[in-house]
Amino acid sequence: MRNSVRLFPLALVLALAVCGLAQQTGGQSETAIRGWLSDEACARGRAESGTFTATNPTCAKECVAKGKKIVLIDPDRKMIFEIANQNLARKNIGDYVEIAGQMDLQAKTVRIDSLRMLERGTASCGRPKLSN
């Protein structure tokens, strides 16, 4: 009986380690990540200057329509992640979203399992001209 009591903590640690390995394979991990969906050109340009915020949704949609890839701007990690399954993000370009899925930090990619819009994107960089 004493041996089984001593082995219980070891078995518990081993079970937790196996569960952890099952969730992480090849640098990928299951996670929830929040950020703005944008096109790669605008997002990377802003990131080079240290800005990890929303981009103009109208511009981002136009760039994606012209062939640019959809990316997620992660303000917490200060990183840009390419969306592996682009079609699942298409209707939310410009929006602040929460993505559940597999994230690969080394490849800087996210594969979407589910996506939830948190805030609709709005153009904040342009002001209408005043008429005289």
Angle 85-115-73 (CA atoms, 0-180°, nearest 5)?
Answer: 75
* CATH node for 27-119: 2.40.50
Task: Supply the pTM of this predicted model.
Answer: 0.72
Per-residue pLDDT of the chain (132 residues; tens, 9 = 90+): 555 555 545 444 444 444 444 444 456 678 899 999 999 999 999 999 999 999 999 999 999 999 999 999 999 999 999 999 999 999 999 999 999 999 999 999 999 999 999 999 886 554 445 555
- Nearest-Å Rg of the Cα atoms of the chain is 20
